[in-house]
Structures are given as C-alpha cells and as structure tokens.
Structure 1
Amino acid sequence: MKITKYGAIDIGSNAVRLLVANVIEEDDKEPKFKKSSLVRVPIRLGADAFVSGKISEENTHRMIDAMEAFKLIMKVHGVQKYKACATSAMREAENGNEIANTILTKTGVEIDIIDGKKEAAIISSTDLNQLIESDATYLYVDVGGGSTEFTLFSSGKIINSKSFKIGTVRLINNKKSENKAIFKKVQKWIEENTKNYKRISLIGSGGNINKIFKMSGRELGKPISYIYLNAQYQFLKKMTYKERISELSLNPDRADVIVPATKIYLSAMKWSGARKIFVPKIGLSDGIIKSLYYNKL
C-alpha cells in the first residue's frame, strides 16, 4: 500500500479553501481518494470584484496570510504536491493577475486563474461516474459565489456544459434587473438542453447545498426532494440574517448567501423537471486533487 498526500486550494468568490487528501494505492485496485483536512476562510473576494471591479488592499493582505497559513498546514500534513486555482472573482477583477503575482512573490504559491469552462471540466473529473447510474440523466449544478457551472450527463456521458455569471455573492450585490436577465439566460439553456430527456435528477455541489443537506438529517447518498428544498427556501427566506445565525447556527458568511443559492438549485430543478437532488459533497477542490493525481493539471 502506498499513501500520498495532495493539496488543493480553491480561491472562490465567497471563501478560500484548502483541502488535504490522501490518495491510497493498492495493487490491482483503483486508487482511493480520502479527505484528510478541510480548512475554509471567509475572504469574500466577490464583494470586491463584482462591486468595485478590483480586489481591495485589505483582502490582498488577508489572501497573503491565508496562503502562508495553508503552506504551513500542508507542511505539517506532509503534502507532496498541491495546486491553487482561482475562479470568477479573481478572473473578473482588473487587478486579479497583479494580485496573483504579488501572492507568488510573497508566499511562493502560484495561483492559476481558470476560466468557467476549465472550472466545469475540473469539477466533472471528480467521482461523479461512481455516483451516477449509467442509463440515467443528471443535471450537475455547482453554485459558487461568482458563477454557477451546469453540466448535463446522460448514459454516463457529458452532453453539454456551461458556466454562467450567476453566483450567490453576485446575486446579493447585483441590481434586480441584472439578476432577472441572467436567470432568463440560464432558464433558456436548461430548457433547451434538457427538453429531450425524461426523469432528470439534479446533482448539487457547493457549500450551501451541503449545509442544507446536513440540516435535512438525511443519510449520505439519499436525495432531497423538490418539495423539501422549496419548503426550506421559504423557511430561510422568512428569517432575518441575524435569525439564521442565532437560530440555525449558520456562519455569518453563509447566512446571507444560502438563500440565493437555494433559489438557483430550485430554479434548475423547476426548469429541468427534476424532482430530486443528490448531494455527494464534491466540488472544485476534489477535482483539483484528482486532476493532480492523473497529471491533468
């Protein structure tokens, strides 16, 4: 048996995460990917990028501190290889590349600012093939702070994939008219791509749907129904931001974005005709680990 430790840094629009995973190799067996540690820090880069168009000096310093801390954590874990990827906030900030260069100079951490297509491809390289039935159809929805990736799978193959600028932090900061317009674009894409398929199920990824799944108390692998998710949405929407923190024990940076995130999942279910959503707890960082192992990054 051989165990190798890998690290994945996911620099999102709502938070920055470090995943440390063990890759376990045994003779004549498929490698196993086991999460060892997950650290999440609430640096909301999207609040900068989607409002002022630039990453602030304060958040730049916080990012430098986070990368230094992540390096130490990886050192303690004995991580042999890691990769840092940044998504829509860094991608859209006019000083995104400048910030990435500053972080490289100060910390030695090289950040790959990836586009929506590459983000969707990395996410799709996760263990989805072990979760989906070979003859079924699924719409995979990964909701982030700045963008949402949609991938349609049928009979085990990717039919189509698209990234939209419809993320939780963006929805909070955008004008209502802007949000309405982007929802219409998403609706058109989903309806056009799913119209020839029956009995579609959703696969949801992202911190918000993971939290809702945890709150549901359901057994891992069991889906959430449209009716349940809609009830949760109505319940969360009626609560104030402070009530979500005090009564539901949500983190402050989760308590506001969980409502628009739930709306995105619900809308995707409605437009695709899906009646249930599976929540396998996988995302970009898991995809980075797998891509590193198979030398795709």
Structure 2
Amino acid sequence: MLSIKKYAAIDIGSNAVRLLISNIIEEKGKPVRFRKNALVRVPIRLGADVFIKGKISKENTQRLLDTMLAFKLLMKTHKVEKYKACATSAMRESDNGKKVVDLVLEQAGISIDVIAGEEEAAIIAATDLNKFIDKSKNYLYVDVGGGSSEFSFIHKGKQEASKSFRIGTVRLLNDIVKKETWDELEQWIKTNVKKYEKIDVLGSGGNINKIFKISGKSMGKPLNYFYLTSYYRLLQSYSYEERITELSLNQDRADVIIPAMRIYLSAMKWSGSKYLYVPKIGLADGIIKSIYYETVSSNSQ
C-alpha cells in the first residue's frame, strides 16, 4: 500500500524567503521517505531594513505580500495538504513585524509563526541528521542565516548543547555585529569543545551549499579547512561585480557569501575542526518533518 502526501514549508529569513514543497511517501513495511518536489527562493532581504532602520519598509512589505500570494497559488496548484510558515530573526526584531504578519494573513491567507532562535534550532534539529553523521564522531552543527546563526554540539548522534547568536550575513554586511557577540560565541564554542576529543563541523545554509557545489565534491565528502580558507581569500580578491561576472555568483549571493564563510571558518578555528560536512538541510526541511511528526502546529491549504 502506497500513500503520497504533499506538505510545504515557508521559511521567511533575513536574507531570502523560501518555499519548499515535499512529497511524503508512506509504504507499508518501509520507513517514511521525504522527497523534495519544488523549491522557490526569493531574495527579499528583510534584514537590510530591520537591522538598520528597525522596521520592514513599505517596498519590502509589498514584495513579501506578493511572494506570499505567489506561494499560495503554487501550493494550490501542487495540491499541498498542509503547510507551515516560519519567520526568523528579521521579523522577530522588526517594530512592524506583527503588522506585516497580520497583513499577509488578511490578504494572502497565509498564517506566519514568528519563532525564537532556540525554536529555530530545534526545528532544524528535527531533520534527518542521523543519515549524514557517524555516531562515533562529535560534531558542531552550524546553520548560518542572514540575521542569526544557530550552533549545536552533537555527541553520539544526540544534541548536547545548542544556542542561537545574533551573528548573520546581513548583519555582518552592514557592520552591526558587536565584538562582544563574537567573543561570546568564541567562548561558548571553546567551553563546550573541551568535553570532546575531536570535532567535525556540519554546515547548513544557502552559502555553504553553494560553496560545496562549486568544490565539485561528491555527497558525504567533507570540505577541509585549507580549501575553505583558500576560497575565502579568492572571494575577497574579487570585487562584488567580479564575483558576479567572473565567478558566476547570483547578485544576492555575491555579497553575503564572504561573511557566511567568516562564520563557518571561525567555528572551525575555535572548535579545532579540520573538516566541514555539508548535509544540505535547513529550516525548511525541519519544518516539513515537524509537520509530519506533529511536533509543531500546521495549517491546511
């Protein structure tokens, strides 16, 4: 007996907004399978408004509303049964965040949950990390976003410690991350890493996925610290325009990729890790699995 359901996740981040539609395949006698069906990404960059001016601009409010209307239609045509929309750092900190959320519900019919950093880390942890990790190893899981980054230590396949820091690519681009925040992150990593003999880093987020693709590595193979530092220096040697024309990066990726690499490399340095693995999972994947296992509330489409 085969059953296929379609669920959707909407991730409203500080840099981009994403819609992930997944097939959930249930077959008698076999583990449930989650298969990506469609992924749409729109680089609205809400954080550029919020982290500088404290609120979402009229222009980006309209862009977000248009995007949500488009996502609503896409979910309808894909015959999505259930969905959940989560907004993270930018919406959390915006003075008019509630007003924008209410507007989207009123005009697009999409209910948005504004989640805390800890809840974001918990949803991401709901992904099938066990498929990507060796339970005999220790890991520092790093998910880099536009407004915040989430860090978790994983020992024998279980999450031991987790914390969200207000260090993100959009914040770094606008030079609004305090030295104290960097110091706090360094201290947190170094304090926790003492409990383990050896650490590898797991990296998630659009920027590290792009770097992994560029590297040409096969799935499951790690990026080493030397490669990442070399590529970081290469990126810095190009202007923003050259990263688009010479390195073929999209314009909304060509600027944030450098601060993203700074976060990953800092995490590797402070944890003493030589290798970074890229399982290609994130908040949207976690939302889909959380809907299925009913660990979060969801909405019917």
User: Are 1:12 and 2:10 counterparts?
Assistant: no
After TM superposition, which residue ranges in structure 1, 4 or more long, deviate above 2 angstroms?
178-181
Q: Distance in 2 between matches of 1:199 and 1:26?
A: 39
CA offset digits 1:238-290 (Å, max 9, x no partner): 11000001111111111000000001000000000111000011000000000
Q: Tell me, what secondary structure is at the counterpart of 1:254? A: coil
Please show how residues 286-297 of structure 1 align to structure 2 within 5 Å.
286-297=285-296
1:77 aligned residue: 78
SS of 1:13's equivalent in the other structure is coil
**Letter of the aligned partner of 2:107 in structure 1?**
K
* Paired letter, 1:275: K
Residue in structure 2 matched with residue 113 of structure 1 by the alignment: 114
Query: How far 1:6 moved relative to its partner?
Result: 0.6
1:39 and 2:61 matched = no
Aligned residue in 2 for 1:190: 189
Name the structure 2 match of 1:123: 124
TM-score scaled by length of structure 1:
0.98
Which string of whole-angstrom CA distances, capped at 9 and with x for unpartnered residues, describes residues 164-206 of structure 1?
000000111124xx44322111100000011121221000000
Separation of aligned partners in 1, 2:158 and 2:282: 18
Which residues of structure 2 form unaligned runs of 5+? 297-301
Cα offset for 1:74? 1.0
Q: Structure 1: 5+ residue runs without aligned partners?
A: none
Aligned to 1:258: 257
Count of residues in correspondence between the two structures: 295
Alignment of 1:167-182 (within 5 A): 167-175=168-176, 178-182=177-181
Please tell me whether residue 144 in structure 1 is matched to residue 145 in structure 2: yes
Q: Secondary structure at the match of 1:51?
A: helix
- Displacement of 1:122: 0.1
Instruction: Report which of the two has the higher share of helix.
Output: 1
Counterparts of residues 19-34 of structure 1 (less than 5 Å): 19-34=20-35
Counterparts of 1:147-166 in structure 2 under 5 Å?
147-166=148-167
CA contact (8 A) 1:171 1:179 kept: no
Q: Partner of 2:222 in structure 1?
A: 223
Cα distance between partner residues in 2 of 1:167 and 1:252: 18
Q: Secondary structure of 2:110's partner?
A: coil
Check if 1:214 corresponds to 2:174.
Answer: no
- Which deviates the most, 132-141 or 253-262? 132-141
The amino acid of 2:86's aligned partner reads C
Assess if the C-alpha contact under 8 Å between 1:4 and 1:23 holds in 2.
Answer: yes
Measure, in 1, the Cα distance between the counterparts of 2:180 and 2:294.
Answer: 39
Amino acid at match of 1:67: M
Distance 2:6 2:155 in 1: 33
What is the identity, as a one-letter code, of the residue corresponding to 1:2? S
| Match of residue 199 from structure 2 | 200
TM-score (norm 2): 0.97
Q: Which amino acid aligns with 1:81?
A: K
- Greater CA drift, 70-79 or 143-152: 70-79
User: CA offset at residue 76 of structure 1?
Assistant: 1.2
Tell me which amino acid in the other structure corresponds to 1:263.
R
Which amino acid in 2 is paired with 1:163? S
Classify the secondary structure of the residue corresponding to 2:131: helix
Cα distance in 2 for residues equivalent to 1:237 and 1:125 = 35
For 1:67, the equivalent position in structure 2 comes to: 68
Equivalents in 2 of 1:3, 1:277: separation in Å?
34
Q: For residues 123 and 216 of structure 2, what CA distance do their matches in structure 1 show?
A: 29
SS at match of 1:54: coil
* Inter-partner Cα distance in structure 2 for 1:60 and 1:171: 23
Secondary structure at the aligned position of 2:53 is classed as coil
C-alpha separation in 2, matches of 1:83 and 1:249: 33
Which SS does the other structure have where 1:72 is aligned?
A: helix
Give the deviation of 1:28 after TM superposition. Answer: 1.6
CA distance in 2, matches of 1:248, 1:80: 40
